[in-house]
Amino acid sequence: MAVIPIANIGIMSFCILAFSHIYEITREQSEKKLLKLAQTDPLTGLANRVRLTDVFERENRRSLRQGTPLTVMILDLDHFKSVNDRFGHGMGDKALQHVSRILQKSLRRTDLAARLGGEEFVLLLTETSEKQAKAAAKKIRETIESSPLMHSGETIRLTVSGGIAEYGAHGDSLQALIRQADKCLYHAKQTGRNQIIHIEDAPDTSPACS
């Protein structure tokens, strides 16, 4: 008769351990989902500024430790307001999602694409010099230009302007690099759009990229 209570205790202990294990797994999964949501732009699925900052700090340390280059690129859709005004904000959202997909397909797994807000994106390119980033920027710009959106039988052509800044040469913090790349972006906008430039592309006298 004593075997039955002992068996019941054993079964109960096993159930408690099993439920505890399941709870712990579920809790970890929930925490990971919440963390991902907190670091993801809800419209495009790209990283947001929080995620960008975290990844930059990690890659910054790795760059210093290994002596590898690290480059930041800012991209901004040209004439995006006209897309919203002419086709509506819903189509504007689709345009942002369309460009986001192109960016994700164009980058390596070690790189990061983030949306800063509005129609502005930031790319963090690991082990990439300014010169290499310029070549990558050309391919991205040309892909976006050659991949229009269709809306009710009408073609919506998209282009981007951008700026490039390399860690060390143009700043030693994410804020400094974004500020420098943004100056080059401004210069690209002022001199015709649909171009991604870095400091050597801009005249020394240009206050926009110097």
- pLDDT of amino acid 29: 59
In a domain, 155, yes or no: yes
Which tens digits make up the pLDDT trace of 55-99?
999 999 999 999 999 999 999 999 999 999 999 999 999 999 999
The model scores a pTM over 0.85:
no
In a domain, 44, yes or no: no
Bridge-based pairing of strands 149-151 and 154-156 is: antiparallel
Predicted confidence (pLDDT) at residue 207 exceeds the cutoff of 50: no
User: Could you tell me if 61 and 29 lie in one domain?
Assistant: no
Which tens digits make up the pLDDT trace of 129-149?
999 999 999 999 999 999 999
CATH number at residue 138: 3.30.70.270
In a domain, 129, yes or no: yes
Q: Under 8 Å CB-to-CB from 35, ≥6 apart: which residues?
A: none
User: Could you tell me if 54 and 5 lie in one domain?
Assistant: no
Active site residues: 119
User: Could you tell me if 86 and 17 lie in one domain?
Assistant: no
Count of CB atoms situated within 10 Å of the CB of 206: 16
